[in-house]
Amino acid sequence: MDKITKKLVDQGKMLPLMEEFYTIQGEGYHSGTAAYFIRVGGCDVGCHWCDVKESWNADLHPPTLSETIVNNVKKYTNTVVITGGEPLMWSMDYITKLLQENNIRTHIETSGAYSFSGVWNWFCLSPKRTKLPLNEIYPEADELKMIIHNNSDFNFAEEQAAKVGENCQLFLQPEWSKKEKMTTLIVDYVMKNPKWKISLQTHKYLNIP
């Protein structure tokens, strides 16, 4: 990467873009709604069950001008979801300012392991044991989405729920490879603990991105 490109990336004026696509959001609070997804490369959180491990190495994904990304969004919809990888590895201030100036709602899905940046209409926090959220992130969460891979994840979910604001929406989502077993346990858990809701990866059932 040349010095000029690196400077633009450091400023958030370019981002290592893995992919972008218009689809139906499959998970969490906004499940079932149309949104344009921006998947940014780069992640060191290291979830063993991650289904986009090809996003981890940012060097594999070409730095793309934020203006170009925003112009692509404008062709489709007024809601964007920035995900990864781990999007907060990069400054989100510049691109979210551009999106907001174009009356596009900004949503993020993040582990919270990096410093807060950006202007967000919806902040979905999905903490991982391997690299916990920074304390500054918890108050920003509109939605807490906990991935349930084994029984101990229920305790982890409660620990994380105790750190977010009282208006944060709480979701438990079965890890896809364990969905048959864990969905049954989640149903039972939510019925006993109704502050939680169930999130399913409906886009996988629908066979869409």
pLDDT in tens, 52-76: 889 999 999 999 999 999 999 999 9
* pLDDT in the model for residue 146: 98
- Asked if 123 contacts 141 with a C-beta cutoff of 8 angstroms, the reply is yes
Tell me the mean pLDDT in the region 8-23: 96
CATH number, domain containing residue 95: 3.20.20.70
For the chain, what is the mean pLDDT?
Answer: 96
Residue 51's pLDDT is 81
Burial (CB count within 10 angstroms: exposed 0-12, middle 13-18, buried 19+), residue 121: middle
**pLDDT confidence bin for 153, thresholds 50/70/90:** very high
Predicted local distance difference test score (pLDDT) of residue 47: 86
> What residues make up the domain containing 202?
3-151+160-206
Structural domain count of the chain: 1
Report the 10 Å Cβ neighbour count for 59: 10
Q: Residue 36's pLDDT is what?
A: 98
Q: Tens of pLDDT along 160-183?
A: 999 999 999 999 999 999 999 999
